[in-house]
Structure formats: structure tokens, C-alpha cells
Chain A
Amino acid sequence: MSQPQNTENQSAQAVDEHRRNFIGTSAALATLTIAPGVMVYGLAHSKPADEPVSNKVRWGMLIDSSKCADGCTDCVTACFTENGISLPSTPPKETDSQWIRKVELKDMRTSRTQSLPVMCQHCEEPPCVDVCPTGASFKRADGIVLVDRHICIGCRYCMMACPYKARSFVHETLTDQNPDVPRGKGCVESCTMCVQRVDQGLNPACADACTKAGHQAILFGDLNDPNSEIAKRIASKATVQLRADLALNPGIRYEGF
């Protein structure tokens, strides 16, 4: 009689393990961040490892092009380092993977230039998902658009469908990938909003790098949470979505132009 109870207790322990670790880590992190007076809201989005992502959250980014420094490529470098992408070859090859790129805009009448990063816009209605013949392109419940490389057959239809030219195809055999970011020849790939970091409660690498460089041009957060910094900024300031005429409702927004 006592044995089934033991088994139940043991499985209960196994289930609670992730939650307990999560609470422990969060408490430790909170103590760490409160002490130097850093914002605590960044921790709000971490979840226990055994919990699936929820559609109550929609991740997004707000990019302020007026703060984005001309010639600075810290976000690009951070993205490539985090995701194990080799930096663009010199001279750049057309086959280099590009998850994020800096784009220079110039008003031809006034000669005013500005610079901003462009990556996968994580659309609410992603055309890449619409056209994918295998279901490899998909949108996670929390709004992050991804490629399931296990299912991708490398047809590149999504690359043609994407109006932002955000996707790349891996043309060559890769070795020594980042363990958290599997990549390989024959698959299409694009910005994952650093899903491996977001699931741990961290910000995407580009946003952190931009903050570290002192520009604070990239703000990451939950668009669905009215109390989040990003939702407040979007509600109070004029922001635009790229190619808003396509009505794809991207999760990446821009301000300053």
C-alpha cells in the first residue's frame, strides 16, 4: 500500500523541480538586480522550463532610429555571436546568412541620413508561414516566427514570400554550432528573437548589446502587457510598422522617422 504513495510523492517531486528551480533563480536574480537599482521589469517574462509558451504574451521590439548610431553594428555582431553565425566574409558573399542587417536611409531632398537594424519582423500574419509547404515555418503562441529545421526541406518559398528579405538559406556544411542554436546546411533560417534567451527570461542579444553600447535604441518586451515599457511607449508615441500597407501586423516597430 505504501509503495504507490511513494511513487506519487516522487513524481510530484519531479514535477515541482522546474518550478522550484525557477522560483529559486528568480528570487536570486531579483535580489541581484534590485541592489544596483536596475529595472526589475525585465525578469517579468521568465517562465518555468516545463511550461509551454502562452498566447497571453506577444513579444515585440521597438527600435528608435533616432538613437541608433550611424556606423554602429553592435547589434549585428551580438546577434551573430549569440547564434553562432560567422561574420560576413570580405568581400561579402551573397550566400552569407544575415539574420539582422543595418540599413541606411537617406532623404534625397534634405540629405538627412539615418540608420536602423532590420530583421525578421515577427508578423502576426506571416506570409512565410502561409506559403510553407511542410509546416516548417510557424508562429509560436507568443508571436515569435520560427523555422522548424526538422521539417524544413529547403525549398526557399518563404524567402520569396517575405517582404522584408529577412530569411537566409544555409548553403554550406556547418560545424561547431552554438549548442542552443542548431543550424545546418539545407535549411532556411532567420532571426528567432533569440528564443533560447527569451525562454530563460533574458532579452534578445541585439537589444542587450545596444543597451550595453549606451544607445538604448532597441526595446524588447511584451506588447500584450499594458504595463510593459514597450506597450506604454507604443501607446504614447508615434511608431510605425514597416510596410504597414501589407497588414501583416509585425511585432517589430520603429520610431524616429
Chain B
Amino acid sequence: MMAWLASHRMWKWTAGIIAVLCLSIAYAASSSAPSVGPKIVIDKTRSGDHCVEDTAFMRKNHMKLLLHQRDETVHKGIRTTKYSLKNCISCHASTKDNRVIGDDEHFCQGCHTYAAVTLDCWECHANKARPAPAAIATTLPAPAAIATTLPAPAESVEGEKK
């Protein structure tokens, strides 16, 4: 008898908690919930459909690629464009002012402000794309061509460490 009462009480509690959860979820869905993450404006007409690697890989590893490329370029004179900072800017600069920093809608600044990571590339490097976006669009390879020449992301990171 006591055991039945206990389980009956537990059932009531469980039902109550579920009801409160459902209500709160319904409230959150009905009100315009603030989306999580930086609010970056990406113009696909400028950037194309693909970055030089997968988006998830780039989010996690872009700094490693840039660090590797910077040493290769400064010390060895290797000037491939795939992972170069200039290449980043040429696609990711804002269509409004051609820059990657300025306010939180700009590509680099938006994410770095959100993640609270200091961004000091632009103290020395030009943060403005040159030449004009129209000229860049014509020289960009087709997205399909980029995709076919990409090595697997994992391979390139291993190669970088060697």
C-alpha cells in the first residue's frame, strides 16, 4: 500500500515537471527567441558556396592554417594563395565597405567578438579587399573546381605538423 502511494506521488511529480517543461518550450518557441551565435552577413555571390575547406573544419582550424601559411610565406617565400590571408579577405570582405572588420556584422570581427578572442592580424595586415568585388568575382574559380582539388581536411592538418 505504502509502495503504491509512493509511486503514485512520484507519478504526480513527474507529470508536473513535464507539464512545466512543455509550457516553457512552447513559450520559447512562440516568442521570437534570440538566436545563438554571431550575426555575420555572408554574401554568397561574393564568397561562392565553398570555403577552401569544409565549414566545420575552417571554424575549428582556420588559425592553424593561417599560422602555418604565415611562416611558410615569410621565411620560405612560398606564396600559394589557397590558405593566404589575402584569399580569406577576397571572399569574406563585406560587400558594403570591402572590409572584414568594422562592426559585428563583419566576418572576422563578428565571430571574434562573440568568442571573445583578440584579433590582432589587422594591426599590420590590410583589412580591406583589393581589387573591387566585381573584379574578384570574375577571377574566382567555380565552386565545383575548388571542391575537386581539395585534399581531405584531416590529411592537410597532419601534413602541416610534419
Contact = CB atoms under 8 A, between A and B. Distances in A.
Interface of A: 7, 10-11, 13-14, 17-18, 47, 49-53, 138, 140-142, 146, 148-150, 173-174, 176-180, 182-185, 187, 195-196, 199-200
Nearest to B76: A52
A49 B78 contact: yes
Given A18-B80, A146-B74, A179 B124 contact: no
B126 A150 contact: no
A132 to B, nearest CB: 14
The 6 closest A-B pairs by CB, nearest first: A184-B124, A52-B76, A53-B77, A182-B124, A179-B126, A182-B125
Contact of B123 (A49, A146, A185, A200): A185
A182 B70 CA distance: 11
Contact of A14 (B78, B130, B149): B149
Contacts of A178: 126
Interface in B37-77: 70, 72, 74-77
Interface of B: 70, 72, 74-81, 86, 89, 123-126, 128, 130, 148-152
B78 A179 contact: no
9 contacts: A13-B149, A50-B80, A52-B72, A52-B77, A148-B74, A150-B74, A176-B126, A179-B130, A196-B79
Contacts of B149: 10, 13-14, 17
A195 B129 CA distance: 21
Contact of B151 (A11, A149, A182): A11
Given A10-B149, A13-B149, A199 B125 contact: no
A204 to B, nearest CB: 14
A180 B77 CA distance: 12
A176 B124 CA distance: 9
A52 B78 contact: yes
Contact of B78 (A50, A148, A150): A50
Given A179-B130, A182-B124, A184-B124, A150 B75 contact: no
Contacts of A150: 70, 74
Given A14-B149, A140-B75, A146-B74, A179 B80 contact: no
A146 B76 CA distance: 11
A138 B151 contact: no
Nearest to B79: A49
A138 B149 CA distance: 34
A199 to B, nearest CB: 5
A140 B79 CA distance: 14
A185 B70 CA distance: 19
Given A178-B126, A183-B124, 8 more contacts: A7-B151, A11-B151, A50-B80, A140-B77, A142-B77, A146-B74, A150-B70, A196-B79
